[in-house]
Amino acid sequence: MNRLALGTAQFGLNYGIANQTGQISIKKGQEIINAAKKSGIDTLDTAILYGKSEDVLGNIGITNLKVITKLPEISQTKHIKSHIKQLLKASFKRLKVDKVAGLLLHRPLQLLEPGYDKIYQVLKELRQEGLVEKIGYSIYSPTDLDVLWDSFHPDIVQAPFSVFDRRLLATGWLHKMHQAGTEVHTRSIFLQGLLLMDKDSRPTKFQKWENLWSKWYTWLKSQDISAVQAALNFVLSHQEINRVVIGVDNVLHLKEILRMACDSDTSIIPDSIFSNDELLLNPANWEQI
């Protein structure tokens, strides 16, 4: 089984701090999907909030691929089931499918607000009806799991995880989810490309973490390994992770990642190369830097 999943945010948005080309064209998208399928990648990650991503995927054609999509924040507590069904039906129409492999909540902490806990009951009903195979949520920090897990048990959790962001490991949540049979899908393994950028191309505001960048690049040089290879190997080395979501801008980029994913490099990245600073780890906070 290929543990990589193809992230498609850049199919519908100008996504990623290292993205120099903007939203990819339908032609490039088609080439990427074809190459992904040929390599054995069977899972696509998208979301209603990813601009035109679902439309583009539907136009390309995603037969025989598992699709995981995400619901946006639900705006009201009245008629929640019909509202969610309408959102899902619209997704199906855009994607040109009649069911999806996974349906996740983009803002799961909403479940803790008065009246919104029923959202999860609706997801369970949709699963029972066969419209979605698995349900769950996308989180930004393991602290989200501390308050959600007991009341809203997920089939899938998507979470950030990288060389710099080891919070799933440190908190024990990676092991706990695996033991519970929950699928763990990780994203931001390159921190939107930030981990791959050299000092000259990295935005100056990130110099705030110069000590961390210095440790990272000194170690890479000492091991004679590329940042892409090291970052990818680090995540794939954790067998408790079911899917590693990667985003690419073109087929060459995808092929490079696939080649490196097959290379069983055993370099152990020092424990000192990490951060707990959510200002750095959560791209939603980068405008505040």
- Confidence band (pLDDT; 50, 70, 90) for 18? very low
Write phi, then psi, for 108 (nearest 5 degrees).
-65, -25
Tens of pLDDT, residues 94-122: 999 999 999 999 999 999 999 999 999 99
Residue of 281, 233, 284 lying closest to 261 (CA atoms): 233
What integer pLDDT is reported at residue 21 of this predicted model? 52
Q: How far apart are CA 206 and CA 191, in angstroms?
A: 12
Tens of pLDDT, residues 147-202: 999 999 999 999 999 999 999 999 999 999 999 999 999 999 999 899 999 888 99
| Residue 20 scores a pLDDT above 70 | no
What integer pLDDT is reported at residue 19 of this predicted model? 44
Residue recorded with tokens 């803002």: 107
Q: How far apart are CA 242 and CA 228, in angstroms?
A: 20
Q: In the chain, what are the domains?
A: 4-288 (3.20.20.100)
Q: Is 0.75 topped by the overall pTM?
A: yes
Give percent above pLDDT 70 in the chain.
Answer: 96
Q: How far apart are CA 48 and CA 58, in angstroms?
A: 13
- Confidence band (pLDDT; 50, 70, 90) for 264? low
Mean pLDDT of the chain: 92
